[in-house]
Amino acid sequence: MPTTSSPTVKRRRLATELHACRERAGLTIDDVAQQLEWSAAKISRIENARVRVLARDVKHLLRIYRVKEGSPDWGILVTLAREAHQKGWWYPFGDAMGESFRTYVGLEAAAATLRTYESECVPGLLQTEDYARAIIGSALTAGTDEDIDKNVALRMARQSQLTQHQPELWAVVNEAGIRRLVGGAAVMRAQLDRLLEVGHQSDITLQVMPFSAGGHAGMNGPFTIVGFNEPADPEVIYVNYSSGSLFLEKPEELRHCALIFNHLCAGALSIGQSREIIARIRTELA
């Protein structure tokens, strides 16, 4: 059980391992709740990584699960609990994020791969600051100018962090996302220039889904598949929508979403053709 760099991923890893320990011990959640005089809901939240768990509580659980005190597994799990309480780089932006998006940013911070489909706009990790400000400011929930500034700063900080640890980013963007005139012609020209620039980076693959493709596999909406280096950290699908977000982790959900993304890649323009359409739209804005 190797360690990871993100406290969010560490909490998720700890949750998975504690669930496995309980099952190996042949105990139900109700059994554990009764022995520790905790609520079953608390144990469920721990095993679903919905809450951070104190190291002392992990020790209580491990004793019930008959994990030998002082053993390697004991030490690793207690250390994970402590490290899961560390503050991630995004901590100063906490008031600009809801709980779900905070979790997503924590997963993104440790990602080895990011596969994303966007239907209406340029993906956040590829946005210029002016484009991001226009997108964020157009939302009904944009808030005050100060709120918008914080959210723009967060988006730029995410880009900076990913530049440092360089996950492989594969983005498929609907043609509407590069044609929609967000922020005016000057802002859009600069944004398209940015896409043309990043399209030459070895760790970024950018494809455009053209209108001419007609109906396609991604018409139910945008999503991101977050992948990690460690086998102990399975992929997560993040789906954001107007009133909330979802994290999908079941094997069948992962397989289905991966199949959708594969079909999107197959149906989209090639990398070279995608550069050509972006350049052509850029010229139209000149």
Q: What are the tens digits of pLDDT across the range 116-131?
A: 999 999 999 999 999 9
Residue 113 has pLDDT above 90, yes or no: yes
Q: What confidence score (pLDDT) does residue 95 get? A: 82
Q: What confidence score (pLDDT) does residue 142 get? A: 76
Instruction: Give, in order, the Cα–Cα distances in Å from 45 to each of 39, 48, 55, 99.
Output: 10, 5, 16, 14
Q: Any residues with CB less than 8 A from the CB of 143 and at least 6 apart, and which?
A: none
188 φ/ψ angles, rounded to the nearest 5 degrees: -70, -35
Q: How far is CA 164 from the centre of its chain?
A: 17
**Average per-residue pLDDT for the chain:** 93
Q: What is the pLDDT of residues 203-242, one digit of tens each?
A: 999 999 999 999 999 999 999 999 999 888 999 999 988 7
* Listed residue (214, 245, 221, 247) closest to 121, CA to CA: 221
Domain boundaries, the chain: 7-83, 92-284
pLDDT grade for 5, boundaries at 50, 70 and 90? low
Could you give the count of Cα atoms lying within 13 Å of 221 in the half-sphere of its Cβ?
Answer: 8
Confidence (pTM):
0.89
In the structure encoding, which two tokens stand for residue 3, read together? 């360690």
In the structure encoding, which two tokens stand for residue 186, read together? 């000057």
Question: Quick check: 22 and 65 in contact, CB under 8 A?
Answer: yes
Residue 1 has pLDDT above 80, yes or no: no
Distance, in Å, from the CA atom of 185 to the CA atom of 239, rounded to the nearest integer, reads: 30
Mean pLDDT value across residues 45-61: 92
- Dihedral Cα 13, 17, 23, 28, nearest 10 deg: -70
3-class SS letters over 252-286: HHHHHHHHHHHHHHHHCCCHHHHHHHHHHHHHHCC
Mean pLDDT value across residues 50-68: 94
pLDDT grade for 2, boundaries at 50, 70 and 90? very low
Mean pLDDT value across residues 8-32: 94
Question: Quick check: 107 and 6 in contact, CB under 8 A?
Answer: yes
* Listed residue (229, 230, 251, 245) closest to 113, CA to CA: 229
In CATH terms, 92-284 corresponds, of 3.30.870, 1.10.260, 3.40.1580, 1.10.3470, to: 3.30.870
In CATH terms, 7-83 corresponds, of 3.30.300.30, 1.10.260.40, 1.10.10.10, 3.10.20.30, to: 1.10.260.40
